[in-house]
Structure 1
Amino acid sequence: MAFALGADAIEPDIVATRDGVLVVRHENEISGTTDVATRAEFAERRTTKHIDGIALTGWFTEDFTWAELATLRARERIPALRKSSASFDGAFGLLRLRDVFDLIDDASIDVPRPLSMVAEIKHATYFESIGLPLDELFAAEVNEAGWNEGDGRLVIESFEKHVLDQVYARGIYGKRVYLIEASGKPFDEVARLGSAAAHYADALTDAGLYALAGHVDGVSVDKKLILEIDAAGDVTGKSELVDSAHAAGLEIYCWTLRPENKFLSRSFRTGKVSADFGAWQSEFALIMGTGIDGVFADHPDLAVAVRAEL
């Protein structure tokens, strides 16, 4: 459906099962995106864990085999805002990474433009600590699926740069993109250096961007970093980040363009209902007009419509 609506690539978030199968979930804690909390047979698996330094309580993919996860049904993660999507709760099961490779291969038969995957590897340091090295598992699945042909269809991204290096060292030569939050520190660096770890913001200075060049192909940032926002929260224009990244020889992307008031910058909200669409065209156009190399969007058709007007 995303490809039919005009997407050039899809972005699965990747976590692992207990038996080493890579599955597509926004997080490894799945109480908000599946019906696991309603399943009596899995009630005793509810637990609390520290994931990237944050205590989370729920059900985690690494405590299930793929055969068990395959019995669950998917749910909308933000149902209060996306009731139409939530109306499909229970209609679909979960996907493995290998299933997504197959879906793209099948879609490519009927779509005339190149179709790609942007694979986001989630919580790599955590998974490695429990004996599930995502770099190794990912490399094996890419090779098995025949997706390591150097044809430009595969992009690998993560908030942890170390796992990008590990994947590259395993001979997976897709484009590497470093995900960068608007605040905080990358957990792989925190695990290695503690309080001495650099902030994400350090990577976005001119020196930081030049240091990344040669190690990654690009960066992908929170969309607010593309905009100039004043102390009152109003957008006053675009930042220099796109130009700075390009000057350092890096591609740059941002996430996530969404039309609801809840997710728009304050300047583009209309009315008082969080779930209503605001002036999304204006925000999308401002961001795309910076010369950015690509954007992530939950509604591909809306992003494509704005792009067509540039």
Structure 2
Amino acid sequence: MIRIILAALLLASPVAAQDMTQPLVIAHRGASGERPEHTRAAYELAIEQGADFIEPDLVMSKDGHLIVRHENEIGGTTNVADHPEFADRHTTKWMEGRTVTGFFTEDFTLAELQTLRARERLPALRPDSATHLDETILTFQQVIDIAREASARTGRVIGVAPELKHPSYFTEIGLPMIAPFVEIVRQNALDAADSPIVVQCFEVGPLRELNGLIDSPLAQLMSPSGGPADLPDILYASMVTPEGLAELAAYADWAAVETAMVIPRTPAGAAGTPTSLVADSHAAGLKVVVWTFRAEDIFVPVDYRGDLPGWIRRFYDLGVDAVFSDFPGVAVNARD
């Protein structure tokens, strides 16, 4: 009740609404190109750089809390290996058709996870970010609080774009995500169609379930290869046809696609001819958000290396409604 009252007070305060006439910039895991992903430092920097939304990826703790990590395996993004008291948690698990070895959030309580410190995922590519060593692991509620406090401080609405990671897997191991997720969304008055939230998932079933529980905007994540883990006979490629997009629009509001689904790469690694995905999505009544824009040459077409702003502007010119970027300040400047 206290959070609902706080949300109402903020909505009644002079906070500028997001400008929906221009593409939104969503800070991918925060300003994760410059600070370790999913940390307070990454989110605060993204907000300072002008991001409209910040993105928390959500996994589960052993005691049922929604934890903000890109994956439930945390060996590569925390200092858990430096904790001898947790050495016996190192294990191998079967997840979505493959074996994964490491340390997993579902084997730790929230209290244990918050004794760990986040680490840069790509230290060789991002050495400056790797120097930030003291950031704690956040919960979903803490990220909502960061966005809400920043909204009050800056006078503009800062949204959240949570992604449910591996919800079918977590259900299988007795840690279903939907109920605790919906509870937090409702407690924070983020369950309306115009709430500053976009809920993402690569799976279809959880989005269909959420569509019947909350009115929050929903985004179907899709990539050029593979398909939803909960629908092994379906490929994402079939979901971005005009017929597939029409079916998608029955339960989601956004098509959230990888850059190559909008502008494919040529065999030489250059930017190719744009597809009709943006126009087809809009014709189906869907908004389009594209992921993920990163500055390092390995992530950019050969003809745009050193020119991330120009690469992002290609997508703005095609009429996308939002972009995810590890460097939200670059995406904001390219837009503005």
Contact 1:74 1:92 in 2 (8 A): yes
Say which of 173, 180, 190 aligns to 2:215. 173
The structural deviation recorded for 1:167 is 2.2
Cα distance in 1 between the residues matched to 2:248 and 2:191: 23
Contact 1:147 1:154 in 2 (8 A): yes
5+ long unaligned stretches in structure 2: 1-44
Contact 2:199 2:217 in 1 (8 A): yes
Say which of 247, 254, 272 aligns to 2:283. 247
Q: Which residue of 1 aligns with 2:182?
A: 139
Cα distance in 2 between the residues matched to 1:240 and 1:229: 15
Q: Which residue of 2 aligns with 1:111?
A: 154
Q: Residues 70-111 of structure 1, C-alpha deviation per residue, up to 9 Å, x if partnerless? A: 10000011111111111102x111000111111111111122
Q: Does 1:4 align with 2:48?
A: yes
Q: Does 1:84 align with 2:128?
A: yes
TM-score (normalizing by structure 1)? 0.91
Say which of 49, 56, 76 aligns to 2:100. 56
Q: Does 1:283 align with 2:311?
A: yes
Q: Residues 43-63 of structure 1, C-alpha deviation per residue, up to 9 Å, x if partnerless? A: 010001122222110000000
Q: Residues 49, 19 of structure 1: CA spacing in aligned structure 2 closer, same or farther, 3 A cutoff?
A: same
Q: Residue type matched to 1:159 in 2?
A: F
Q: Residues 138-174 of structure 1, C-alpha deviation per residue, up to 9 Å, x if partnerless? A: 01222233433554212111000111122233x3221
Query: Greater CA deviation, 25-34 or 105-114?
Result: 105-114
Q: Does 1:126 align with 2:154?
A: no
Cα distance in 2 between the residues matched to 1:165 and 1:240: 25
The structural deviation recorded for 1:251 is 0.6
Cα distance in 2 between the residues matched to 1:265 and 1:23: 34
Contact 1:29 1:58 in 2 (8 A): yes
Aligned residues: CA RMSD: 1.3
Contact 1:9 1:118 in 2 (8 A): yes
Q: Specify which structure has the bigger relative contact order, considering alpha-carbon pairs within 8 angstroms and separated by 6 or more residues.
A: 2
After the TM superposition, which residues 1-310 of structure 1 pair with which residues of structure 2 at under 5 Å, given as runs? 1-89=45-133, 91-169=134-212, 171-190=213-232, 197-269=233-305, 278-308=306-336
Cα distance in 1 between the residues matched to 2:210 and 2:180: 10
The structural deviation recorded for 1:115 is 1.4
Secondary structure of 1:236 counterpart: coil
Cα distance in 1 between the residues matched to 2:310 and 2:229: 34
Contact 2:114 2:136 in 1 (8 A): yes
Q: Residues 206-240 of structure 1, C-alpha deviation per residue, up to 9 Å, x if partnerless? A: 11111111211111011111114323332134222
Cα distance in 1 between the residues matched to 2:49 and 2:308: 17
Secondary structure of 2:163 counterpart: strand
Q: Residue type matched to 2:64 in 1?
A: G
The structural deviation recorded for 1:241 is 1.1
Q: Residue type matched to 1:60 in 2?
A: F
5+ long unaligned stretches in structure 1: 191-196, 270-277
Question: How high is the sequence identity, in percent, across the aligned residues?
Answer: 40
Cα distance in 2 between the residues matched to 1:100 and 1:281: 27
- Superposed structure 1 runs of 4+ greater than 4 Å apart: none
Cα distance in 2 between the residues matched to 1:181 and 1:298: 18
Q: Which residue of 1 aligns with 2:12?
A: none
Contact 1:148 1:174 in 2 (8 A): yes
The structural deviation recorded for 1:181 is 1.2
Q: Residue type matched to 2:239 in 1?
A: A
